[in-house]
């Protein structure tokens, strides 16, 4: 089992560009999450999903959109990237809502 | 808003020394989860505490939930270089669809 995988691992964008981060899990988890991690601030929840076709806002949703068209995939989109979105993005999934979370390896995004 | 605080922010210990990190909240916590993140890695779940006064052990790690459910601690006995990393506590409030991570305690172990 691969667990939780994220694509890409690194990305550099220019301000105003768009991109999509892909998260995939093979554990048949219902619940999936997107976090951002900034130095000294721990992890902050951006959006989450409690099942295929559903999404909900987390703590810092502005500037991001998500989709969960398939149970195993959770996509995070940035429509118009800003330097404030420079961060490390982690995807996670869990069997129980907000229970033990399994994290992917992360995507390091830089917005110039 | 709801905040989960952790102290200390950084800790440097000699290998073999003990280490403790504390997680504090001004309000009653529903539960506490602890995660470890190695440098350059991703968070890995360690444990979840739910009951007031709960104590759980994993080899050299001891986790405790305060009686008032406003604080939690993680204690590592006789640290090893493999313990290096950042330890995060997190509270999951399922009733409010929230999970709040603390800022973490970064542990360095000097061999």
DSSP structure string for chain A: ---EEEE-SEEEE-TT--EEEEEEESS--SEEEEEEE-TTS-EEEEEEESSTT--EE-SS-TT-EEE-SSTTEEEEEESS--GGG-EEEEEEEESSTTSSEEE---EEEEE-
- Residues of B (46-65) whose Cβ lies below 8 Å from A: 48
Testing the interface with B: which of A25, A27, A42 to mutate, by most B Cβ within 10 A?
A42
Q: For residue A33, list chain B residues with Cβ-Cβ distance below 8 A.
A: 99
The span from the CA of B33 to the CA of A32, in Å, is: 17
Using the Cβ of B102 and the Cβ atoms of chain A, whether some distance falls under 8 Å is answered with: yes
Compute CA distances B27 → A4, A19, A81, B1, B15, whole Å. 33, 38, 36, 10, 35
Averaged pLDDT, B43-62: 97
Report which of B51, B107, B99, B100 is spatially closest to residue B74, judged by C-alpha positions. B107
Testing the interface with A: which of B2, B7, B43 to mutate, by most A Cβ within 10 A?
B43
Give SS3 for B96. helix
Averaged pLDDT, B3-14: 94
Average confidence score pLDDT of chain B: 93
CA distance A44 to chain B (A): 7
Residue B94 has pLDDT above 80, yes or no: no
CB–CB of A102 and B100 under 8 A?
A: no
CB–CB of A48 and B98 under 8 A?
A: no
> In chain A, which stretches have pLDDT less than 50?
none
pLDDT, residue A96, reads: 87
Residue B1 has pLDDT above 60, yes or no: no
């Amino acid at each position: 089992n691969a667990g939780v995988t994220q694509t890409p691992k690194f990305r550099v964008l220019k301000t105003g560009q768009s991109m999509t981060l892909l998260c995939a899990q093979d554990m048949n988890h219902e619940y999936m999450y997107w976090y951002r991690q900034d130095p000294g601030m721990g992890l902050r929840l951006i959006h989450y999903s409690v099942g295929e076709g559903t999404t909900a806002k987390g703590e810092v949703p502005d500037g991001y959109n998500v989709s969960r068209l398939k149970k195993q995939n959770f996509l995070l989109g940035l429509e118009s990237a800003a330097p404030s979105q420079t961060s490390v993005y982690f995807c996670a999934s869990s069997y129980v809502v907000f229970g033990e979370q399994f994290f992917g390896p992360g995507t390091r995004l830089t917005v110039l | 808003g709801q905040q989960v605080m952790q102290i200390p922010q950084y800790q440097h210990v000699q290998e073999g020394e003990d280490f403790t990190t504390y997680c504090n909240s001004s309000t009653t916590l529903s539960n506490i989860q602890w995660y470890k993140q190695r440098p350059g890695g991703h968070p890995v779940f360690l444990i979840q505490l739910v009951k007031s006064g709960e104590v759980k052990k994993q080899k050299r790690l001891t986790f405790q939930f305060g009686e008032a459910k406003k604080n939690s601690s993680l204690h590592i006995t006789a640290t090893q270089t493999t313990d290096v990393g950042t330890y995060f506590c997190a509270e999951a409030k399922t009733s409010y669809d929230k999970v709040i991570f603390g800022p973490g305690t970064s542990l360095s172990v000097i061999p």
